[in-house]
Structure 1
Amino acid sequence: MPANESTNSPLDTLWRVHAILWMVVAGEGLAVVLALATETSSDRLTYFGRLSVAIQWVMLLTLVAIYALRKPLSRIRPQGVAYVALCLLLINTWVTAGIAWLLMRDVGPMPAGGWQALVLRLTGIVLAVGLLGLAAFQNHWRARQAAVQAKQAQLESLHSRIRPHFLFNTLNTGVALVRRRPEEVERLLLDLADLFRAALAGPRQISLEDELALARRYLEIEALRFGDRLSVRWELPGVMPAVTVPALSIQPLVENAIRHGVEQLPAGGEVEIAVSTTPGTVVVRITNPLPHPGSHSHPGHRVGLNASQVRIEALTDGRGSVQTQVAGGRYIATVRLPVGT
Structure 2
Amino acid sequence: MNSPLPPTIPDTLPDTRNLGVLLRVLLAVNAAALVVAVAATDNFQDAAQRFISDAALLQPALLGALACLALLRDVLTALPYQRGLWLSLALVLGCSLTTRAVLAGLYPADLDSYLRVALYTLLLGLVLFGYFRLRGRALSPLLTMARLQALQSRIRPHFLFNSLNAVLSLIRKEPRQAERALEDLADLFRVFMAENRELSPLASEVALARQYLSIESLRLGERLRVDWHTERMPPDALIPPLTLQPLLENAVYHGIEPSIRPGQISINIFQVRDELHIDIRNPYYKEGGGHHAGNKMAMGNIRERLALHFDAEASLKTTVGNDYYQVHLSLPYRPASTAKPTRKVP
- Normalised by the length of structure 1, the TM-score is 0.73
Within 1, Cα distance between the matches of 2:290 and 2:57?
70
Shift of 1:306: 2.5
CA contact (8 A) 1:281 1:336 kept: yes
Shift of 1:128: 4.0
Give aligned pairs, total.
312
Within 1, Cα distance between the matches of 2:191 and 2:280?
20
Tell me the equivalent position of 2:13.
Answer: 9
CA contact (8 A) 1:90 1:123 kept: no
Q: What pairs up with 1:173-252 in 2 under 5 angstroms? A: 173-182=162-171, 183=174, 184-204=177-197, 205-240=199-234, 242-252=236-246
List gaps (5 residues or longer) in structure 1.
2-6, 38-46, 105-110
One-letter code of the match for 1:12? T
One-letter code of the match for 2:207? A
Shift of 1:248: 1.2
CA contact (8 A) 1:167 1:196 kept: no
CA contact (8 A) 1:211 1:247 kept: yes
Tell me the equivalent position of 1:159.
Answer: 148
Shift of 1:329: 0.7
Q: What pairs up with 1:127-146 in 2 under 5 angstroms? A: 127-134=118-125, 136-137=127-128, 139-141=130-132, 143-146=134-137
Gap change, CA 1:198 and 1:129, over 3 Å in 2: same
Gap change, CA 1:81 and 1:189, over 3 Å in 2: same
Within 1, Cα distance between the matches of 2:301 and 2:192?
13
One-letter code of the match for 2:182? L
Q: Secondary structure at the match of 2:260?
A: coil
CA contact (8 A) 2:224 2:264 kept: yes
Shift of 1:265: 0.2
Tell me the equivalent position of 1:96.
Answer: 102
One-letter code of the match for 2:210? R
Q: Secondary structure at the match of 2:187?
A: helix
Tell me the equivalent position of 1:320.
Answer: 314
Q: Is 2:340 the counterpart of 1:334?
A: no
One-letter code of the match for 2:13? S
Provide the identity percentage.
Answer: 26
Gap change, CA 1:21 and 1:297, over 3 Å in 2: closer
List gaps (5 residues or longer) in structure 2.
6-10, 43-49, 336-346
Q: 1:284 aligns with which of 278, 295, 300?
A: 278
Instruction: Give the superposed CA RMSD.
Output: 4.1
Give per-residue Cα distances to partners, 1:46-102, cap 9 Å, x unaligned. x999976566555566566666766665536255236524652575267437x73xx
Q: Secondary structure at the match of 1:9?
A: coil
Within 2, Cα distance between the matches of 1:178 and 1:330?
30
